[in-house]
Each structure stands twice: as structure tokens, then as C-alpha cells.
Amino acid sequence: MQLSIVIPLLNEAESLQELLNRIQAVCEKEGYIYEIVFVDDGSTDLSWKIISNFSQLYPEVKGIKFAKNYGKSQALNAAFKVVKGEVIITMDADLQDFPEEIPALRKMIIEDGFDLVSGWKKKRYDNILTKNIPSKLFNKAAQLTSGVKLHDFNNGLKAYRYEVVKAIDVHGDMHRYIPVLAKNEGFTKITEKEVPHQARLYGKSKFGANRFVRGFLDLITVWFMSAFGTRPMHFFGFIGTLMFIIGFISSAWLGINKLLKVWKKIPAQLITNDPLFYIALTMMILGTLLFIAGFLGELIVQLKRGKKDDYTVSQYLNIN
């Protein structure tokens, strides 16, 4: 299998036929041995019926249907588990990604030796205030935080080497940060390719303002996981120990100061009347809790490999 094309979708019935026709035209022209994996993320329109018809007509078309809407990350994760191509291309189903870019993307993986190639829609046809400007800010923050120099992290059009998709674990809303996840797994040959963009032709956008909030929160998560994901004790343990030591020294100073005043027969107030006593006590308690959090984090890291998938597949088509 030379090529796997993964298409997550939610209520995109109107665009599926044109999308399939364009993908087939490109792949047949290039002579690829390929598969197309549609992942229906809980659509309520005719999307799954159309995909089912495709699978009966074309053996290269495969389908995964979720029991409900779980999200793009889960859809990609389910597809990555079953794909067989030496190169995997992901794209959205809304026709804003161009299937005609597939040969160039595949060439960059096979001939140029990249592990991951991300599309960059330099010229976009989206609302400037609600999408373009926030997207630029988001991508700049992602660059600075992750060290991965891409202009368009959230672009659905990407190409991967087979080993990359089998190594990464995409969950939550982490599809935005797949290049960072790949880098964390040791796949550092990551680049981007400028690709065309067009306005949505059918249906309505699934984009909402709340995605930026979730995106920035996920960015913090990715940063933490990149730096301390396999060694949480180095973060929580260090801060907890530092806070405990500061609290302990402050408490000791209060106690010694009290004893010296008593020894010198100098009137002294109760330690509990000094605000520093409560500050020191709070720091010691928080330090202990952070240390315990680090220890529990280490245990979770050891156990995470055994966790179950966070989605339910209700049906497969043409997948062995």
C-alpha cells in the first residue's frame, strides 16, 4: 500500500462525491496503490449512507463510524490504527483542502526524506477578525512554546511517514499539535508546504470561538508534556520541595526567635499571632501536596500505556 488518505468528517454529505472523484482522479493518474479511510464522527445527515455506497462500489474506500460525535482527534486516532500506506495524507472533507496536492506532499515524504509535511494556507479566505487574526496569534504562540517552526499548525492537510502515525497518540483536542507530538517521539524532520485554500462550498463551518480557548489550554498541556510528560516529579517535586524548604526555614526562624527572646527574658508574642507563621505553614502544606502530585504523576506515566480508547466505533467498512 503506497498511500492512505484519511478524511475525518461531520455532516459533510454534500461535498463527499466531488471529494472522492478528485482523489480518485489524482491517485489513478499517478498509479498509486491506495486506500481512502472516511471517519464519520457522529454525522446526523446522509454522510454515512454515502460512504457505505462508496465502499460497495470501490474496494479502496473504507469507513469508520463513531457512535456519537467525539472530535477530530479521536477520528484521526481511529484511522491511524488501521491505515497501511507507507505515506498517510490527512485532509478535511469540506473541499477547502485540495486533493491535487497529494503527489507533491507524498514526494516530500518519499524522496525528500521528511517525516511530516504540514500544509500552509498562506492566503486564506476566512473571516479576518474571527479566524485569521486569532489563528496567527495561536500559531505564533505554538511556535514559541513548542519550538516547531510551522505557520499553520491546525491545517488539516498533512502528510506523514507510516512510522509517525503509528507512534503518536492523538486524543482530546491534540490534533492541532500533531507535529509537536511527532517531534516528542523523535521524528524531527518536519516541514511545511504552501497549499491553496478556498472558501467553503457546502455546509457550515464547525469552527467556534471556544476552540481558541481550548486550543490555548491544550498548548499549555503540550508544553508541559513535552518538557515533563515522562518525568512529572521533576516539575512538581522540585517546586514542592522548594516551597516546603522555604516554609520549614520560616517556621524554624520563628521558633528560634521565640526561644531566644524567652532565654533573654524579652517579652514576645505567641508564634500563632505572627502572619508569617500561617504563610510558612501554608507553604509547607502546599509543598507536600505538590510533591505527592509529582509522585502520583510518575505512577500515571507508568500505567498510561494500558488505558482504553476514549471513543466507541459502531461500524467498520472494508477494514480487516
pLDDT tens, position by position, 200-214 = 666 666 555 566 666
Q: Which residue bears the cell 491511524?
A: 80
pLDDT digits (tens, 9 = 90+) for 223-279: 676 666 667 777 787 888 888 899 899 888 888 888 887 777 777 677 778 888 888
Rounded Cα distance, 221 and 100, in Å: 35
Q: What does residue 81 show for φ and ψ, rounded to 5 degrees?
A: -70, -25
Cell numbers for 14, please give them: 454534500
Rounded Cα distance, 142 and 148, in Å: 8
What CA–CA distances, in Å, run from 241 to 143, 210, 248, 283? 31, 37, 10, 10
Residue 127 has a pLDDT of: 55
What is the residue type of 175? H
What is the residue type of 39? V
When mean pLDDT is compared across 40-44, 235-239, 285-289, the lowest value belongs to: 235-239
Residue 161 has a pLDDT of: 96
Q: Is the pLDDT of residue 181 over 80?
A: yes
Beta 61-66 vs 158-161: how paired, if at all?
Answer: unpaired
pLDDT digits (tens, 9 = 90+) for 91-132: 999 898 999 999 999 999 999 999 999 998 877 665 555 566
3-state SS class at 32: coil
Residue 36 has a pLDDT of: 97
**CB burial class (10 A; 0-12, 13-18, 19+) of residue 163?**
middle
Q: Is the pTM of this model over 0.75?
A: no
Nearest alpha-carbon partner for 40 in 27, 53, 26, 50: 50
3-state SS class at 133: helix
What CA–CA distances, in Å, run from 192 to 118, 159, 286? 4, 10, 44
Q: Within 13 A of 159's CA, how many CA atoms are on the CB side? A: 30
